[in-house]
């Protein structure tokens, strides 16, 4: 489950369109937060490894920012609010918003990611199979 949600973030990359569920955002955040201190410890090993790690850190930051924007979209806020993460104590506001449940139904950024996909006739898909 954890690897699926991290893989989902990596597939979406830096796409800021749409919405992200709380679980997707928080699982990626936890994995990134665990990776970054380990990467920082290895920065002094040699120059080539340090360059590779700095590129990985930059990618993680870009993916996290995109996921944070999609998470803000899920609660009905503009992605521009992610800039609060660069202001002292702004990250606390983002934290409070990121633990809120998403808006039910569709908002201007797309359908609720919690909703199950529906068929053309309006029936719900169950495990990817159209009920008869």
pLDDT for the residue 69: 94
For the whole model, what pTM was predicted?
0.74
DSSP code, position 44: T
For residues 67 and 73, give the distance between their C-alpha atoms in angstroms, rounded to a whole number.
10
Distances (CA, A) of 89 to 21, 29, 34, 37, 100: 23, 18, 22, 21, 18
Q: What is the percent of the chain where pLDDT is above 90?
A: 20
* Number of residues written out for the chain: 132
Is pLDDT above 70 for 31? yes
- Band (pLDDT 50/70/90 cuts) for residue 2 is low
Taking only the tens place, the pLDDT of each residue in 79-111 is: 999 999 889 899 899 999 999 998 888 899 988
Asked if residues 39 and 53 have their Cβ atoms less than 8 Å apart, the reply is yes
Distance CA 53, CA 42 (A): 8
> What are the backbone dihedrals phi and psi of residue 63, each rounded to the nearest 5 degrees, phi first?
-65, -40
């Amino acid at each position: 489950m954890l690897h699926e949600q991290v893989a989902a973030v990596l597939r979406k990359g830096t796409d800021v369109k749409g919405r992200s569920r709380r679980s997707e955002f928080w699982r990626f955040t936890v994995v990134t937060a665990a990776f970054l201190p380990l990467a920082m410890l290895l920065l002094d090993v040699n120059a080539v490894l340090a360059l590779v790690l700095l590129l990985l850190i930059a990618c993680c930051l870009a993916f996290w920012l995109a996921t944070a924007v999609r998470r803000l979209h899920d609660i009905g806020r503009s992605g521009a609010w992610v800039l609060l993460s660069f202001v002292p104590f702004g990250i606390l506001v983002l934290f409070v918003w990121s633990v809120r449940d998403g808006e039910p139904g569709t908002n201007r950024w797309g359908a609720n990611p919690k909703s199950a996909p529906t068929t053309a006739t309006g029936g719900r898909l169950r495990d990817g199979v159209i009920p008869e």
